[in-house]
Structure formats: structure tokens, C-alpha cells
Chain A
Amino acid sequence: MTGAVPSYLSPTGQEIVFLLLGAVTVGSALLVVTTRQLVHAALWLVLCFGALAGCYLVLTAEFVAWVQVLIYVGAVVALLLFGIMLTRAPIGRSADLDSGNRVVAAIVALATAAVLVTVVIDGFRTAYADLTPGRGAASEVGSSLFRNWVLPFEALSVLLLAALIGAIVLSRTDIRGR
């Protein structure tokens, strides 16, 4: 994880691309909540997830990057769009997209961001990731996941299974209550 810390004053091409992708991620995330067009908000979310996948690629985490594209871009936002279009998806601007809670929401978002940024900065400080290509391939991620992180992995899969069954029970009207 740690290596010799190079100077910050002469960034490499990799670091510049990483910073630019980060800027795209944050910018498109802001546009998701500020745009006045419902479907465009979902598309900005696609750009946000895509740029995040780009960040992973720059960090040589290829497996995570393409899984991010496959799951978040390919399935999650596609289903989101699907849901919007099944209910209502007007072309053009909508007037009623502002929430009454937007001040509170902004404060919560900023507070969350502040907590995360402080934790990351405090945790890693000048740690410098060694970006050797090939570490992010499926076998490395798999062995790390199933050797060191198997308990969180299993807990998450049980959680997802519970959510899945819950969604089915909620959406089916032919299951009577007892």
C-alpha cells in the first residue's frame, strides 16, 4: 500500500487524469440533483458512475472498474430509468422537482462528505498506493475477498437476499397477511 511519497509539485499523467475524473464525478453528481429534467438526472448519474469506474481503472483496479460499469451503469441506473419511464418521464423541464427539504438535505450531504473526507485523510495521510498493473485482476480480488473479507461478504449477501425477498413480498398482492 505505501511506497515512497513523490513530490506533489510535479504530478504524473496518471495523477492528472485521476484528478480530472474526480472533477467529472463530483460535477456530474451535482448536476444529478440540480438539473430540471428528470431523465437527464438519471443520465448524469450514469456519467458520475462511469467517471468513478474510470478512477478505479487509473488505480489499476480493473475488475472493480468493469463490475462498476456492469452493475451500476448497466443495471442499477437502467432499472432507475425503467422505473421513471414506466411512471412518468416528461420530455423537457419539470417545475416541481425541488424538494422542500433541500436545505436540510444539502447540510446532511455536506456533513457526510466532511466525515468521509476527514476519515480518509486521517487514515491515509501521505500513504502512496503502488500502482503495479495486474493487481486488480479477478483472481487477486477473489482470493482477497474470500480469504480476508469473507464475513462482511456473507453478511452483505444475506442483507441483499432479505431486501430481494422483501421487495417481492411488498409487490405481490396475492400473498395474504395472516
Chain B
Amino acid sequence: MNAIRVLAAPEPALPNVQSFGHDPLWITIIKAVAIFVFLLLSVMYGVWMERKLISRMQHRYGPNRAGKFGLLQSIADALKMGFKEDLYPSKVDRFLYAIAPVILVVPAFMAFSVIPFGPTVSMFGEQTPLQLTDLPIAVLFVLAMASIGVYGIVLAGWSSRSPYAVLGGLRSSAQVVSYEIAMGLSFVGVFLFAGTLSTSEIVAKQASGGTWEVLGLSIPMPSWYVVMLIPSFLIYAITMLGETNRVPFDLPEGEGELVGGYQTEYSSSLKFALIQMGEYVNVFVVSAVSITLFFGGWRAPWPISLWEGANVGYWPLLWFFIKLVLVFGGFIWVRASMPRIRYDQLMAFGWKVLIPLNLAWIMLVATVRAFRIEGADRTALFTIAALVVVGCLVLFFRFDTVLQRRRETRAEELKQEFELLEEQPAAGGHPVPPLDLPHYHGADRKEISSGIH
């Protein structure tokens, strides 16, 4: 095994899956602690940057009392939260109430262990990649961590024994689970191009775009996947807002309806700080994944990449950090400009728009990739592709006509109802939901029908 690893050892600058797992323990500890500290500082100054930037977009100053430009504001907030009394509302499930913020935070931190920050560097005399670890299926690991984080949300809501918190937790878990499907599908295009699920190799594949031979011309392809796979990226950008419960998908915390959603009962103690930290780290995770998969990872953007030393040593840390700040700035920009959308619109958008669009796009990408394989049976491919397209069109028109017919009958019924109401305004009574649903009083109580339904 070791012999194979030595043979497969790559050139030092571009790490791949095989270059992990050889670090001495102390290097691993240094990297883990560095990522942890980086994330803690990012959360503190992320909160500051968000407050400052959104204030400027709304023509106000934002925090400017604690320290120069309010830079110490986050430290003041953290200290205050640390010294607050740690309250347990009466009759909560104490264990789950205490552990839920931890379940929210830990997977978010763990997802960062597979994010590549840079190439192989020499750290205190050891050659090591600037990435804690890598797996052959690293992107799947990030998705799995996000799906474990859902438990933190749903348990925080349930264990606080408050209707608003339960509703917020339910909304949030349904939303995250739905948007995770679209998110996973938007990665498929990247996998088809890169041919691997390992984050370090996906970054390496974005080093050069290769060429496309068409009609005797060789056209150089752009190297970042955001250009080649722009539909995948746009869908990912939408799902990353949904996945992290950010505006315009922050229904779980819709303060007009649900107070604070699942965190309502966590009154600003350290547990509340943990929940906030978990949310921000989740935002950084999806931003880092978008950089790794679509924006060339730690590689320098075009004008800088002409400089020979741009992609060696510790410089890539800077490019990665700049990209992270820009993507996070995008989150804030969206928050400052978008209203919150309605819950049924959110669900319909996720399931009926994002997922079908994604599937169609994956089919297209896969077909194009298959055409470019040397020695592929192009006639067979073309026939299958044509059959699929025709089949989809037939299905679509069939459903469209049925829907149209249904819409017309419904309009007809409405028209008749309005005519009836014109003549007899009290006809049919006022529509009232049944007020004795067992839901409100516990399952033991017998349901009393209101007589209308």
C-alpha cells in the first residue's frame, strides 16, 4: 500500500486524494486549530461586516461605538452573552435543549475539514497540503454534515416546548431537506466535468480549461466551472440561501409570524451564541463550497494568475479569503435588497422549478460529455437523446392540457359561485376552519364537527 502511495505521489504543488494521511500528528493539530480559530474570528468579524455593510446599504452607520469603526462590537456581544444567566424554561426536555445548539454547530465546523485552502506548502519543514483532510467523496461529506445540522434546528425547536419554536423548527427542517436535494443535484454537473468528488482534485481540475476541438478550430475553454456550468451555479447560489435559512428564505425566523423561530426560547446566553455561530459557520461552509466547486478554489483569478508565484506557497490563502469575503458580501447584498417570500412559494419553487431544471440541465451536460468521449456510438446516443426530449415534450403537453382544462372548470365554478352570491349574499355561509381539531387540545379529545365540513 505504501509503495502505491509513493508511486502515486503527485508533484508537490497540486495535492490530490493520495497526498493526505501522511501528516505527523502535530501538523494535523496545527491545521485543525488554525481552521477553528479562523472560523471563530470569521464569525465575529462576519457579524460585524454584515451589520456594517447592511447599515451602509440602508443609509445608516451601524455599530461605531466600541472601538474604531465598531470593530470591538462583536467582542462586547460575546462577553455579554457569556455573562448572561443560562436559563432553562420550565418543562423543557433539558438534555435535548442543552445539546441542540451543539448538534447545530459541530457538523458546520466539521464540514470545513475538507475545504482546500491552498497547495502543498512547507510547514515547519514538513511538506503538507493546506487542507485538513480529503476524502474520495469529500463533497458528499459536506452534504452529509449539512443534513446532520438539521437535527440541531429541529430539536432546538421541539425541546423548547413553545409553539413558535416548534413551527420554526418544522419549517426550517422541511426547507433544508428540500433545498438539499436541489443543492446535491447542482453538484452533479461539476462531478461530470471533474470526474471526481474529492475537493482538492476538483480545484486541481480547474487549473486549466483544456481546449474544445470543433470544426478544426481549437477553442480554449475557461477553467472555472462557473463559466461552463452557469445554470448549475445559479441554482446552487439559490439553494445556498435556502440551505442556510438566509433572506429571502428566512421563513423559519420570520419575526412577524414566529418571533425568532426555533431559537425563540434560547434567551441570549451562550447557547444562543452557539446557535448564531452555527448559522454563520453554515454560511461560510456553503460559500467555501461554492468557491471550491465553481470559482477555482484557492487559485488566483485571471490577471493575478499571470504572476508565476500566485499559486504557490501561502499566497493562495489570500485569494481564498478574498473570494470568501466577496461571496459573503453577496449574501449581505441579497439580504439588503430582497423581501421574504411566502412559504408555499418557497416549497413550490424548490420542488417544481429548481429540481426539474437541474435534472434537465444534468441530462444536457451528460449528453454533451458523452458525445465528446472518443469512440462513442454517436448514432445511438443521438437516438436516445431525441427519444428523451420527445418523451418529455409529450408528457409536458399532456399535463399542460389537463391543467388548462382543470383551470377552466375552476374558473367556471367560481363564476357561478359569484353569480349566486350576487343574488343571495349569505349563501353557503362564511368559510370557517374547524375549530375543534384534535391538534389544539390533544389527541384524547373527541372532534366536534362544525357542521359546515
Contact = CB atoms under 8 A, between A and B. Distances in A.
A78 interface: yes
Contacts of A137: 136-137, 197
Contacts of B136: 62-63, 134, 136-138
Given A69-B144, A70-B144, A85 B151 contact: no
Given A63-B137, A70-B140, A89-B158, A78 B147 contact: yes
A73 B1 CA distance: 33
Interface string A25-41: 00000000000000100
Contact of B177 (A46, A79, A133): A79
Interface string B185-206: 0000000000001000000000
Given A62-B137, A91-B93, A138-B197, A82 B173 contact: yes
> From DSSP, what is the main secondary structure of chain A's interface residues?
helix
Nearest to A79: B177
B147 A86 contact: no
Given A91-B93, A137-B136, A75 B147 contact: yes
Interface residues of A, number: 29
B355 interface: no
A66 B144 contact: yes
B137 A138 contact: yes
A70 B147 contact: yes
A39 B177 CA distance: 19
Contacts of B177: 74-75, 78-79
A132 B146 CA distance: 29
A67 interface: yes
Interface residues of B, number: 33
> From DSSP, what is the main secondary structure of chain B's interface residues?
helix
Given A63-B137, A78-B150, A138-B136, A70 B143 contact: yes
A125 interface: no
A157 to B, nearest CB: 14
A96 to B, nearest CB: 10
A46 B137 CA distance: 22
Interface in B123-165: 135-137, 140-141, 143-144, 146-148, 150-151, 154-155, 158-159, 161
A24 interface: no
Contacts of B170: 82, 85-86
A134 B148 CA distance: 25
B432 interface: no
A88 interface: yes
A97 B439 CA distance: 19
A58 interface: no
Counting chain B CB atoms within 10 Å of each CB, the highest count among A43, A62, A74 belongs to A74
Given A132-B1, A134-B136, 15 more contacts: A39-B93, A43-B155, A46-B151, A62-B136, A63-B136, A66-B144, A74-B150, A75-B177, A82-B174, A85-B154, A88-B442, A91-B158, A133-B1, A137-B136, A138-B140
19 contacts: A46-B151, A66-B140, A66-B141, A70-B143, A70-B144, A70-B147, A73-B144, A74-B146, A74-B180, A75-B180, A82-B173, A87-B439, A88-B443, A89-B166, A91-B91, A91-B158, A137-B137, A137-B197, A138-B197
